[in-house]
Structure 1
């Protein structure tokens, strides 16, 4: 009689937990929509956006999981002798489907038909897995259970998912309201769709980065017709991958400190403001984190390899995951790949031969992945690492002046004391890391050291943090966001100190405090009016044209069909539906060349010869770029030259704050 009662009480607990989690998740969505009297209307639109975008993003991610099952069997063996579970499978699937999208895009073969074909193939792998494990699903006693602390992360998950329903350009002041999304994360797929293939674009230097995450956004764009239309789905996919990363962190901690500690560690990661910010935008950080978590878990389970063949397979899996992480974001080389290979190196439980074998196959897997980008860039530009290492491999289509500006902005050029001060201010003291994460990780390291069963993992995580901090200080240009991978070992360390009731309670309180910080950050966006980016127009047209930030787009899209726009200083044309020529701050200005060669008269003739009817000038961005200490701009473009152009060639059409639209006379 005792067992049925236990089962019944457990079932009741699970149901209450599920209900509570859903209620708190929905509460997070409600806070995103804000307001009182129009609350129901805005919340209804937000919910519709969640469902619509989740269907597309979920289709991609489930296909990736299915493909991951095939790759898992091929690389780890059908019997799972490497201890490679669902986390690594999902990581392999994200990597595999991303590579397929990337390859199809490069070959000019990524289109709606092929996008559905590869998705269906992934679903086939998922069906295979479900069929192979149907015995588990037929037996409720074997179903996975949710540790109760997971409920603490539900409001943050609601905020994360809800924030994806604000179109790029609406959220996050730390990211200049999605400037990078509008200028390349989604703008590149937009142009690739028009060009029919992933190509290098001389007016957008970011097209020469690996851009594997952007290839997945192109996959979604194939279903919607354009990257602008797919913006919500791209953000939702990023959010789902963020949840995957949090799950991976939780699973790492679960393996060494139990599932409740794992749930809290996952909650800490999910509730950290930087996670919410980058996880709700079409960014690439969270793909790096998901792949990194899968690679780290695989590395820490090295004791389950008993033969050199298994060691070779393990190292290869870790290397492939880290290598694809680098294809998502190059800084993953020093923030994920290097720290994790250090973890592999210090794992001496299987002997020196096992270590060497794993490192060799790691290098093979990671090297092949990175080599794909280098081959592509070599073919495109003659420089396999363009726009980097130009002094070794050539400057491609750039001038020495462009190279100098790029290097000055992307190479650390401060003294060591100044770099350490920046680390203290932008990482340790940055509000978006939540203040409490780093001290809690330090306490976790101490707890882990004192526990013999967790000491090895604690040492590995501290080593990771040291390597990551060193890379951030010496090899990056010191943006706070570049330190996000440090949350991986930090959250694991936090999980290692959780065990007793008191520490569990402290962990849950920590998740709550971070959640409050993230909601406060959201509610402070757009002077408390972020909700204005959620309304019926937003859902129906994918863009709220009544919002001030989009007014230039609205006017330009209403120009006559034959209109063609040249933009100077304006490099965020994602939503513009008329032909437009733009360039990033790093790239040469075609108008500047015309001004240098023929003055105002020559520039007017150049504009007419190229069928331009209008000129759009972002005076504010030009002033920002050319301000002392900033990146600089094409020296052929000066305020005096533009003033002369406006006075003699252009007639004003409309002005919005610092942006002006002109008609060519």
Structure 2
């Protein structure tokens, strides 16, 4: 009876929060106050509800596979990861066959909740058990730091999305699915290929008008990565390493910055760490169930991001060794593992194969022109005079010195200067003193191999792609560091030294946290003191001004061509993004046939010269961008109607819909 009343109370509370959410939507972006706080609570409750359903689904799937986890923390982590992937796959399948409509999405989640209602009832005890485990086996300093990080991640995720990639495709493409009511290949966004498992989870959240929801999913998975490292340390290493890992993990600042956005790198890190965990867990078992779990999670990780294939390749020798040394029916077990991984990954590979002709686009077929450009060129082949990887030329090839000393030099992201890895990783060579410890070798070997493979395959890689190696290598470095000091100092002094080390490696990330909460206005926005519009204005400057102008002044029948700009999420009129800064170099050689772009249906052109200046400051050769031809084209065919900062919005002369005719 108590559970019944608790359910009714929860539904009533959720209904009240939903009413506040609807009221907040009517107030506009300038509102501050209690409704904004209630809207944040609604977003958090919504995402927690999805995670609870996922944990229930995961429990049912693991039980069907005969897998039982030893403790509440392990159970919560693996159930949630499996359940999220199953729900995402179901959303992909249902959306493909029945349409991507809000009612369909929430009917699916509601049906799943009813089917696994008993397993959902097990989630609160698992959470309680996890908290009890943390209090009992982690030191107070680490718990305090974990709490601060959680506050930063949650408040950062609640903030309106501003990251370039997030606005370019992580949120924009799912939004386009919802607008069209179907999964399709957008005409201007080849990054559709990278829309996978996490983005299916984003869809029901966006359908309810919660653009913060996807970032909350990422934030919770980032915290899950820390908890997975803690659980691994408890099982395979020691309590001290497990406890301090909750604090020292955050010495890699990019976990914090990526974890507060809808980018999928920390979600991938979470899944791949659980794959690694399950493989090492299989070394303690005489039956193959944990290997099958690892294979399933590996296939799910491929659905998160292609990089999973590289990590799985690095992990494959360990998995094969476990099969050969621990299992009696090796061939059958290996075949089943591969089959499980393939089936788990198949929906995501099939999506790209059907809609792009390449299951891992663009790595098999090579990059191709977006459909709107392909119509102009009469084919999808990229002309030889255009470099589709021009953006990557703004950074130096990967090298370890710059990684620790000047990471901004080897990454294209504007926030790349904060991507410096954990300083404790500098002591990784200490693991050579503990080669007899198999667990440390099993943990470090595949992670290091992954880093080598990523850098070898793409020397100008994004540092975010290294996130899957951060947790394993941090655990190894922390464990070896502590054991070396055990040979020289008493246990109490080693603990004191580790506490001091934690403070040292967290000094720079602490500035990220403090700056985000204060100058970054995260905390002020979370408590309703800063409006959504004011937050966006502070973070994006003139970008939000040009968005407001376009949405408020241009007819909905307009079609805006973006040049050197790709953040289309907030625009309320159709836009053609310039994801790879290729659009103008491509169009400039076809202008004679396009009648000043009018025959392409373009009514306006938005030029972001601020991006050009940024690329120039990073050393990009501007000659291939043909900027002189752009200036001449503007004089002959365009009329400026709005300018702010580095942005200029032009109307195409003679286009069917030109909107306002005066410059502002």
- Common topology (TM > 0.5): yes
Q: Distance in 2 between matches of 1:259 and 1:474?
A: 36
Q: Following the alignment from structure 2 to structure 1, what is the Cα–Cα distance between the partners of residues 534 and 301?
A: 30
Supply the distance in 1 between the matched residues of 2:201 and 2:391 (Cα, whole angstroms): 28
Distance 1:461 1:333 in 2: 17
Asked whether the equivalents of residues 63 and 123 of structure 1 are also in contact (C-alpha less than 8 Å), the reply is yes
Measured in 1, the distance between the counterparts of 2:291 and 2:85 equals: 16
Mapped partners of 2:586, 2:320: distance in 1: 54
Instruction: Choose which of 161, 166, 176 in structure 2 pairs with 1:168.
Output: 161
Q: Given the alignment, which residue of 290, 298, 312 partners 1:322?
A: 298
**Aligned counterparts of 2:198 and 2:338: Cα–Cα separation in 1:** 22
The structure 2 residue matched to 1:90, chosen from 65, 76, 80, is 80
* Displacement after TM superposition at 1:299 (Å): 1.3
Deviation, 1:265, is 1.3
The CA deviation string for residues 336-395 of structure 1, in whole angstroms up to 9 with x for no partner, is 322333332344895364666554433222233344333332322333332222269999
Where does residue 573 of structure 1 map in the other structure? 568
Aligned-residue offset at 1:72: 0.8
1:520 equivalenced with 2:511 (yes/no):
yes
Instruction: Identify if the C-alpha distance between structure 1 residues 93 and 495 changes in structure 2 by more than 3 Å, giving closer, same or farther.
Output: farther
CA 1:644–1:485 in 2, change beyond 3 Å: closer, same or farther? same
2:469 to 483, 486, 500: 486
Give yes or no for the alignment of 1:644 onto 2:629: no
Cα drift, residue 562 of structure 1: 4.3
Matches for 1:377-388 after TM superposition, within 5 Å: 377-388=352-363
Which of 39, 42, 45 is the equivalent residue of 1:52? 42
1:332 equivalent in alignment to 2:314: no
Residues 630 and 326 of structure 1: CA distance in aligned 2, closer, same or farther (over 3 Å):
farther
Give the whole-Å Cα distance in 1 for the aligned partners of 2:55 and 2:634. 55
The residue matched to 2:607 in structure 1 has which SS?
strand
1:218 alignment partner in structure 2: 203
Counterpart check, 1:367 vs 2:367 = no
Structure 2 distance, partners of 1:632, 1:156, is 41
Aligned residues of 2:525 and 2:532 also touching (Cα < 8 A): no
Indicate the residue corresponding to 2:419 in structure 1. 432
8 Å CA contact retained: 1:61, 1:94: yes
The verdict on how the C-alpha distance between 1:395 and 1:613 changes in structure 2, with shifts beyond 3 A counting, is closer
For residues 588 and 142 of structure 1, the distance between their equivalents in structure 2, rounded to whole angstroms, comes to 52
456-465 vs 180-189, which deviates more?
Answer: 456-465
What is the Cα deviation at residue 186 of structure 1?
Answer: 0.8
Q: 2:448 aligns with which of 457, 466, 471?
A: 466
Q: Does 205-214 or 549-558 show the bigger shift?
A: 205-214
Aligned to 1:290: 270
The change in CA–CA distance for 1:656 and 1:591 in structure 2 (over 3 A counts) is farther
Does residue 502 (structure 1) correspond to residue 477 (structure 2)? The answer is: no
CA distance in 1, matches of 2:130, 2:457: 51
Find the counterpart in structure 2 of residue 20 from structure 1: none
For 2:184, the equivalent position in structure 1 comes to 199
Q: 1:143 to 1:519 in 2, by over 3 A?
A: closer
Cα distance in 1, alignment partners of residues 128 and 167 from structure 2: 48
Corresponding residue of 1:25: none
Q: Name 2:62's counterpart in structure 1.
A: 72
Instruction: Tell me how far 1:583 sits from its aligned partner.
Output: 3.8
Distance change in 2, residues 1:539/1:331 (3 Å)? same
CA contact (8 A) 1:205 1:587 kept: no
Distance of aligned partners of 1:460 and 1:529 in 2 relative to their CA distance in 1, 3 Å threshold: closer
Q: Report the secondary structure of 2:159's partner residue.
A: coil
Inter-CA distance 657–509: structure 2 relative to 1 (3 Å threshold): same
Asked whether 1:559 is paired with 2:541, we answer no
Aligned to 2:24: none
Change (3 A) 1:342 1:505: farther
Instruction: After TM superposition, give the deviation of residue 278 of structure 1 in Å.
Output: 0.9
Structure 1 unaligned blocks of 5 or more = 1-40, 170-177, 225-229
Q: Is the 8 A contact 2:157 2:215 kept in 1?
A: yes
| SS state at 1:616 partner | strand
For 1:106-185, list aligned pairs within 5 A. 106-124=96-114, 127-129=117-119, 144=133, 146=135, 147-149=137-139, 150-169=143-162, 178-185=163-170
Q: Is the deviation greater in 141-150 or in 158-167?
A: 141-150
Q: Does the CA-based 8 Å contact 1:303-1:349 persist in structure 2?
A: no
Question: Could you tell me how far apart the structure 2 residues matched to 1:586 and 1:152 are?
Answer: 41
Distance 1:379 1:133, change over 3 A: closer
Q: 1:305 aligns with which of 285, 289, 304?
A: 285
Partner of 1:651, secondary structure, is strand
**SS at structure 2 position matched to 1:603:** coil
Which residue of structure 1 aligns with residue 93 of structure 2? 103
Which residue of 1 is the match for residue 245 of structure 2? 265
> Is the alpha carbon distance of 1:395 and 1:631 closer, same or farther for their aligned partners in structure 2, counting shifts above 3 Å?
farther
Give 2:365's match in structure 1, choosing from 390, 403, 408. 390
Once residues 392 and 138 of structure 1 are traced to their aligned partners in structure 2, the CA distance between those partners, rounded to angstroms, is 45
Question: Contact 1:164–1:280 (CA<8 Å) still a contact in 2?
Answer: yes
8 Å Cα contact 2:241-2:479 kept in structure 1: yes
Cα distance between partner residues in 2 of 1:345 and 1:514: 36
SS in 1 for 2:466: helix
Name 1:351's counterpart in structure 2. 326
CA distance in 1, matches of 2:335, 2:585: 47
Counterpart Cα distance in 2 of 1:387 and 1:64: 31
Q: Give the match's secondary structure for 2:166.
A: helix
What CA distance in whole angstroms lies between the structure 2 residues aligned with 1:643 and 1:133?
61
Do the aligned residues in 2 keep the contact of 1:564 with 1:578 (CA within 8 Å)? yes
Corresponding position of 2:235: 255
Distance 1:410 1:354 in 2: 47
In structure 2, relative to structure 1, the CA distance for the partners of 1:436 and 1:367 (3 Å cut) is: same
Cα distance, 1:456–1:187 mapped onto 2, change above 3 Å: same
Pair 1:406–1:363, CA change in 2 (3 A): farther
Displacement of 1:628 in angstroms is 9.2
Quick check: 1:402–1:586 contact (8 Å CA) kept in 2? Answer: no
C-alpha separation in 2, matches of 1:626 and 1:236: 34
On the 8 A contact 1:235/1:280 being kept in 2, the answer is: yes
Could you tell me how far apart the structure 2 residues matched to 1:492 and 1:532 are? 31
Query: RMSD of the alignment, in Å?
Result: 4.2
Distance 1:544 1:84 in 2: 39
| Distance in 2 of aligned mates of 1:268 and 1:164 | 21
Cα distance in 1 for partners of 2:323, 2:394 equals: 35
TM-score, normalised relative to structure 2: 0.77
How far 1:264 moved relative to its partner? 1.9
